[in-house]
Amino acid sequence: MASSAAARRLLLLRHRHGNLLPKRHFSSSSAPDGLDDGGGRVKIFDRDLKRRHRDRAAWVMRETDGLVDAVAENLLDRLEDCRKAFPSALCLGGSAGAVRRLLRGRGGIERLIMMDMSADMVKKWRESENATGDGPETHFVIGDEEFLPIKESSQDLIMSCLGLHWTNDLPGAMIQCRLALQPDGLFLAAILGGETLKELRIACTVAQMEREGGISPRMSPLAQVRDAGNLLTRAGFTLPGVDVDQYTVRYNNALELVEHLRAMGETNALFQRNPVLKRDTALATAAIYQSMFGLEDGSIPATFQVIYMTGWREHPSQQKAKRRGSATISFGDIQKQFGPSEN
């Protein structure tokens, strides 16, 4: 347990002072995107590499994925809590395929646009769509969440299932989503939270310290729960709602876990990643994972923390706090009328 605590402190240090990492563990990344706005924006993720990950995921993706389906099901369940219909909807990247498959008429969607940055993924969705004739009228677009190609005030609903945590400019992506919504339109998103794959992170850090004498980023920085509400407010959404769920998936071994991540298109896309993983370090990681977190039956658990975000575009009919000083009844009067009696 002491080594676990030490690993956690190192992780915190790494998150805060990434530039202090030993230089020999950094690799020269590909040229940054020529379309970069410049300024002080930090580019954390290699979007071109993530696109290639998505291309590969389109080919190795499992037909049904228990974890992805559970998250998509939870996201769609929120539509049943709304008393209005959303005729036009946009479904962004990540696990949009699962969302489409599990929609089953919820939300009253009549026209659906499905968008991903990977052409292969979009084509795969279209094949699945052609296989089933029912459901809403569906259109397909290849696009980037950070540069949303959707007209302003055109959608009733925008959903994103496990995709936005790979954006460099998450607030910017969410602002664009809000602008694409009609007034009183709904934004629904599920992103991976900071506790995701904590076991793998710890095991990998310990293994690298033992074998290589230093650490390099092996896992992406992920949003913390307390950040999600700020993100919604900062993007201009009203009535923000955030809640968290945690899923534990069990694997027979660490290799199976890595294969699952690859099938989901969730492998490392950091600019500052070390592209080489030594076999020695990989084997040590698997051994440490097993010894620190392995279960009685020999399988290993992996944690996936999912943050669900709900936000609405502003509309006059929405409830909001009244202006300060506009009260007509005082709390003192209420206290006198309903307070505890003397006897």
Specify the stretch interacting with other proteins by CB under 8 A; choose among 7-15, 128-136, 145-153, 301-309.
145-153
Q: Are 55 and 119 in contact (CB under 8 A)?
A: yes
Which of 73, 77, 137, 152: binder of other proteins (CB under 8 A)? 152
Residue among 233, 174, 160, 221 at smallest CA distance from 196: 221
Which of 95, 138, 155, 281: binder of other proteins (CB under 8 A)? 155
Asked if 48 is part of the footprint of other proteins (rule: CB under 8 A), the reply reads yes
Asked if 250 is part of the footprint of other proteins (rule: CB under 8 A), the reply reads no
Residue among 204, 179, 205, 173 at smallest CA distance from 191: 173
Asked if 33 is part of the footprint of other proteins (rule: CB under 8 A), the reply reads yes
Asked if 321 is part of the footprint of other proteins (rule: CB under 8 A), the reply reads no
Total of chain residues touching other proteins, rule CB under 8 A: 25
Q: How far is the CB of 155 from other proteins (least distance, A)?
A: 7
Q: Could you tell me whether strands 238-251 and 111-116 are parallel, antiparallel, or unpaired per DSSP bridges?
A: unpaired
Cα–Cα distance, 139 to 109 (Å, whole number)? 13
Buried b (16+ CB within 10 A) or exposed e, 264-282: bbbbbbbbbbbeeeeeebb
Q: How far is the CB of 288 from other proteins (least distance, A)?
A: 39
Asked if 131 is part of the footprint of other proteins (rule: CB under 8 A), the reply reads no
Asked if 55 is part of the footprint of other proteins (rule: CB under 8 A), the reply reads no
Asked if 236 is part of the footprint of other proteins (rule: CB under 8 A), the reply reads no
Q: How far is the CB of 275 from other proteins (least distance, A)?
A: 21
Which of 104, 147, 295, 315: binder of other proteins (CB under 8 A)? 147
Q: Half-sphere exposure of residue 113, counting CA atoms within 13 Å on the CB side?
A: 18
Asked if 35 is part of the footprint of other proteins (rule: CB under 8 A), the reply reads yes
Q: Are 174 and 307 in contact (CB under 8 A)?
A: no
Q: How far is CA 229 from CA 92, 314, 337, in A?
A: 20, 16, 37
H or E element: which one contains 249?
Answer: strand 238-251
Asked if 143 is part of the footprint of other proteins (rule: CB under 8 A), the reply reads yes
- Cβ closer to other proteins: 35 or 42? 35
Q: How would you class 140 by CB atoms within 10 Å of its CB: exposed for 0-12, middle for 13-18, buried for 19 or more?
A: middle
Under rule CB under 8 A, which residues in 81-100 are in contact with other proteins?
A: 88
Asked if 113 is part of the footprint of other proteins (rule: CB under 8 A), the reply reads yes
Specify the stretch interacting with other proteins by CB under 8 A; choose among 111-119, 165-173, 259-267, 296-304.
111-119
- Cβ closer to other proteins: 53 or 218? 53
- Cβ closer to other proteins: 37 or 296? 37
H or E element: which one contains 93?
Answer: strand 88-94
Which of 151, 226, 323, 324: binder of other proteins (CB under 8 A)? 151
Asked if 123 is part of the footprint of other proteins (rule: CB under 8 A), the reply reads yes
Asked if 140 is part of the footprint of other proteins (rule: CB under 8 A), the reply reads yes
Cα–Cα distance, 70 to 161 (Å, whole number)? 11
Residues 6+ apart with CB under 8 A from 93: 54, 115, 116, 117, 145, 160, 163, 164
Three-state DSSP state, 259 = helix
**What is the contact surface with other proteins in residues (CB under 8 A)?**
33, 35, 48, 51, 88, 113, 117, 119, 122-123, 126, 139-144, 147-152, 154-155
